[in-house]
Amino acid sequence: MESFQLEHPFSLTDTLKSGQLFHWEPLRREGIDGFAGCIGSAPPSWIAQTSADQVVLDGPDAGEVIRYFGLDQDLAAIHDSFPREDEVLEEAMAYCPGIRLARQPLWECLATFITSSLKQVAHIRAISLTLRRSYGIEYQLNGKSFYTYPSPEVMQSVGEDNLRKCALGYRAKSLDLAAKAIASGEINLSAVEKELSECDARVELTRLHGVGEKIANCALLFGTGRWGAFPIDIWIERILRDHYRKRLKGDRLQAWAVKYFGRNAGYAQQYLFHFARKTL
């Protein structure tokens, strides 16, 4: 185990419950309550928060765990980029000051949000765990099984009919076609993550069946670290309408939000999303 001293506010619990991550499971180790899960294809990592300014972690790559949970992010600089005297955003940040944006492997982030359409968090989590247990690689940690998210190559061989058996419904077709497009090289996720501009990356992702602006922005925000991406769902649309008095729709609302909240608009979105979902 390694100890990591936090320089900025962090809440492991809020981050895990903020609608970004769906497969981490409680695991007590050496008398410490924490959470474990697989990052990509690697064996499981474990993390626990022992105080407001300290976490302990263990896994095949401690640096990857730190990056995954955003513990290396400079929140002060991020907050300085937000609009001044925004009372709504300030209230949301005060409600959940320790939320960090996770940096997930792009494929499992994209695939998970493809399966999330019109689903509650509990349902998304159940689907994610079912797919992992059915088709992922199994590892053991402290006598408990943990599973990786199945790769595009594995997922394409599963087939739409078997995916439907995992409670995906109509989403099975989208996940099946996405896996095939990525496994074949038709869609290059490495380019989406590292080479393309944010706009071009979004266009590339929306070429996938079932991937619209919202899912593409979720993948860019939580899977590539592009913090300018601003997913808009019913919660965000509601808070922008009721608290910012914005009656815009679609692309016009998207454009306003990105311009108003600035280069780290996605970080502001996550504060607002968690605040709205828990309090409104």
Last residue of one domain, picked from the residues 200, 223, 246: 223
The domain that contains 172 carries what CATH number?
Answer: 1.10.340.30
d(CA 102, CA 219): 11
Instruction: Domain of residue 19: give its range.
Output: 2-74
Q: Is residue 68 part of a domain?
A: yes
One domain, residues 120 and 211 = yes
One domain, residues 69 and 124 = no
Last residue of one domain, picked from the residues 205, 223, 241: 223
Q: Is residue 115 part of a domain?
A: yes
Last residue of one domain, picked from the residues 204, 223, 242: 223
Q: Which residues contact 247 (CB under 8 A, 6 or more apart)?
A: 241
One domain, residues 120 and 20 = no
Q: Is residue 216 part of a domain?
A: yes
Q: Is residue 49 part of a domain?
A: yes
Q: Is residue 256 part of a domain?
A: no
Domain count across the chain: 2
Alpha helices by DSSP H, listed for the chain, are 12-16, 62-68, 75-80, 87-95, 106-114, 121-135, 152-158, 160-164, 171-183, 189-194, 198-205, 213-223, 234-242, 250-261, 265-279
Q: Is residue 26 part of a domain?
A: yes
Q: Is residue 22 part of a domain?
A: yes
Task: Please report, in tens digits, the pLDDT of each residue of the chain (280 residues total).
Answer: 899 999 999 999 999 999 999 999 999 999 999 999 999 999 999 999 999 999 999 999 999 999 999 999 999 999 999 999 999 999 999 999 999 999 999 999 999 999 987 678 889 999 999 999 999 999 999 999 999 999 999 999 999 999 999 999 999 999 999 999 999 999 999 999 999 999 999 999 999 999 999 999 999 999 999 999 999 999 999 999 999 988 888 889 999 999 999 999 999 999 999 999 888 7
Q: Is residue 58 part of a domain?
A: yes
